[in-house]
Amino acid sequence: MPLGALFRYFSNDLAIDLGTANTLVYARNRGIVVREPSIVVLNKLTNQIEAVGAEAKEMLGRTPGNIESIRPMKDGVIADFEVTERMLGYFIKKAHGRKMYVHPRIVIGVPGEITQVEKRAVRDSAQKAGASEVFLVEQAMMAAIGAGLPITEPSGNMIVDIGGGTTDIAVISLSGIVYSRSVRVAGNEMDEAIINYLKRKYNLLIGERTAEIIKWQLGSAFPLKDRLTMTIKGRDLVEGIPKELTISDEEIREALAETVNVIVDAVRMALERTPPELSADIMDKGIVLSGGGALLRALDERIRAETGLPVVQAEDPLACVVLGTGRVLEDMHLLRKVSIR
């Protein structure tokens, strides 16, 4: 066995979906080994990391003054370079579960419309966290591969990947992106819309975690057959004391309307810009939804109603990007073809 191949055997290369809301890590030959929120809890006095991932999410909005919860990723790109580097280092070590004898090669999915400066930040973070070589790939392309779309064939495939910070839309044919668009509106914007709606309508202040729970329990993009309600707790902004009230799915649909409209408009624009031959393929195959945002109730129905096209949800929407990135990691020929400079 040549020395390079031997090193690669021990290095255990990784594929990473470095998301605004969650980070997923895929290890070669082992599958997904890390699936945790992209949150770090930092002690401001000692500059020590108190918790990362799921443990840090439990502390969100519940920390004392000297301890800060940080989301180092914003809108799909790095907002806090140093914290991202430390978070990546933690996830890489966790993925290996042992000491790294050889630094791994790392493939990272990034949004489509990312600037050179933002690309450089991702590369530098991964290298400082212990990578020997870093490849960047477009999230939409990876989501399409992870969803099992036949991207190498001469036919049109359309993917809509709704993450935490960005919604990436792409039309793919012959392993290349024919059209892509990235809008910085996605799951986190939905949470913020719920917080602002309740503040405006009921003078009730809720935290990020509560907003996310409301989104999954009541959120929808299209009227539902059965009415859903939920009792929520927060702080009354007028009285300044804790308050409880019952809200319905109709109200949350109203709260999410603007965010959902932006995503639907971006899908329509992508269809308008698609060459006619590929449009015909998409009409036959439909649009595939991936990412955490694809789990929003009736979003597929809403896009179907707006476009008249079949819409399907990927099998494991949350893992599509990392599964696609993992598949590319194991096929160097394809990786060199799809990686971005």
Rounded Cα distance, 310 and 176, in Å: 23
Yes or no: say if 25 and 53 are a contact pair by the CB < 8 Å rule: no
- d(CA 200, CA 211) in angstroms, rounded, equals 14
Task: Find how far residue 199's CA is from the centre of its chain.
Answer: 26
SS3 124: helix
Q: Per-residue confidence of the chain (341 residues) as pLDDT tens digits?
A: 444 444 444 457 999 999 999 999 999 888 999 999 999 999 999 999 999 999 999 988 888 889 999 999 998 889 999 999 999 999 988 888 765 557 889 999 998 888 899 899 999 999 998 888 999 999 999 999 999 999 989 999 999 999 999 999 999 999 899 999 999 999 999 999 999 999 999 999 999 999 999 999 999 999 999 999 999 999 999 999 999 999 999 999 999 999 999 999 999 999 999 999 999 999 999 999 999 999 999 999 999 999 999 999 999 999 999 999 999 998 888 888 888 87
Which domains are assigned to the chain? 3-141+320-340 (3.30.420.40), 149-185+256-314 (3.30.420.40), 187-255 (3.90.640.10)
Residue written as token pair 């598949």: 327
Please tell me whether the overall predicted TM-score, pTM, comes out greater than 0.85 for this model: yes
**Cα separations (Å) of 85 from 18, 90, 151, 322?**
11, 9, 32, 19
- Those residues whose C-beta lies under 8 Å from the C-beta of residue 159, and which sit 6 or more positions away, are 140, 143, 144, 147, 149, 168, 169, 170, 172, 287, 288, 290
Chain CA centroid to CA 90, Å? 19
174 class by beta-carbon count within 10 Å (0-12 exposed, 13-18 middle, 19+ buried):
exposed
